[in-house]
Amino acid sequence: MNKPPATRSKAEAMLIARVDDMLNGHRRAFTAFLTEAEQAILRPLTARREDAVWYGGYPGAERVMLGVFPHGAADMSAFPILPITLHLPKQASVTHRDILGSLMALLISRDSIGDILVEPHRALVFMTHAAGQLALSELERIGSAGVVCEAGADLSSLPVQQYTSREATVSALRLDAVVAAIAQKSRTTAAAMVSAGLVAKNGLVLTEQSARVESGDKISIRGYGKALVCDKGRSKKGRIRIEIRKYL
């Protein structure tokens, strides 16, 4: 189940207080990049605010900033986001995790990095201005592959999210059963992972083993990555067939 306000962590309470100050201030202000879980916590605060805008550098971004524009219409170009294009060698096999690790090795904080979109020979990374400038000057390798960094990105042809796909069957579309299928663990182990707070659905950590999973939900499991779950109907034995698209 979702954590009620009374059980917010100190970090969550501080985030809410900081954004509340932004919303009640009288100047333009922006957060760092926010996770899906942080967005879910904050969106009720901005539900009726025309001066509050969410943006991650391109339409449909997962990791976004919250911008507050108290005086006039929102200006997307004002968001402190710098897209970076990484040109990779043809033979390189580079993943999202490889790029994130190389950036964080430069002591760039995670909340300074937005979405990372990877395709063969190219990747787009959305970063804060300061972090992007550091990457442009310091990032020379991703793992063993050399990389050329270029400020800016062609947003008309965004890389498609890469994933591996496989099918599985579950007895019910409940969280512990789906987690067991994704992680390829026993139902008992999966239930323990859920209870321990290691699993999130669409960015929100859930601890209720029987929580409903819908087709199109994104399930994140700490240590196992993120997967999109798609309902594929019933098997001949009456079990539910699901496609598991695990993001690379």
Q: Which of 92, 121, 151 is the last residue of a domain?
A: 151
Q: Which of 151, 184, 201 is the last residue of a domain?
A: 151
Do residues 190 and 123 both lie within one domain?
A: no
For residue 45, being part of any structural domain is answered with: yes
**Tokens at 222, concatenated:** 């700490």
Q: Are the beta carbons of 84 and 150 closer than 8 angstroms? A: yes
Say which CATH number the domain at 203 has: 3.10.290.10
Do residues 58 and 102 both lie within one domain?
A: no
For residue 86, being part of any structural domain is answered with: yes
Nearest C-alpha neighbor of 181 from the set 239, 141, 237, 131: 239
Q: 192: left (phi > 0), else alpha (psi -120 to 50), else beta?
A: alpha
| pLDDT value at residue 91 | 80
| pLDDT value at residue 245 | 94
Token pair 């663990």: residue: 185
Do residues 239 and 173 both lie within one domain?
A: yes
For residue 21, being part of any structural domain is answered with: yes
Q: Are the beta carbons of 154 and 86 closer than 8 angstroms? A: no
Structural domain containing residue 144: 81-151
Measured in residues, the chain has a length of 248
| pLDDT value at residue 135 | 97
pTM above 0.85, yes or no: no
| pLDDT value at residue 241 | 96
| pLDDT value at residue 1 | 43
For residue 169, being part of any structural domain is answered with: yes
Contacts made by residues 208-215, CB under 8 angstroms, sequence distance 24+: 208/1, 208/175, 209/174, 209/175, 209/176, 210/174, 210/175, 210/176, 211/1, 211/174, 211/175, 212/173, 212/174, 212/175, 213/173, 213/174, 213/175, 213/178, 214/173
Mean pLDDT, 10 residues at a time, over the chain (248 residues)?
59 92 92 92 90 93 94 88 93 87 96 93 94 97 92 85 89 97 97 96 91 95 92 93 90
Q: Are the beta carbons of 65 and 34 closer than 8 angstroms? A: yes
Query: Residues 5, 10, 12, 14: is their CA dihedral positive or negative?
Result: positive
Token pair 């986001």: residue: 81
Say which CATH number the domain at 70 has: 3.30.1370
Q: Which of 18, 40, 75 is the last residue of a domain?
A: 75
- By the 10 Å C-beta count (0-12 exposed, 13-18 middle, 19+ buried), 25 is classed as exposed
- Count: domains in the chain: 3
Do residues 173 and 242 both lie within one domain?
A: yes
Do residues 98 and 45 both lie within one domain?
A: no
- What are the Cα distances from residue 102, in Å, to 11, 149, 185, 223? 26, 13, 30, 18
For residue 157, being part of any structural domain is answered with: no
Predicted confidence (pLDDT) per residue in 88-116, tens digit? 988 888 888 899 999 999 999 999 999 99
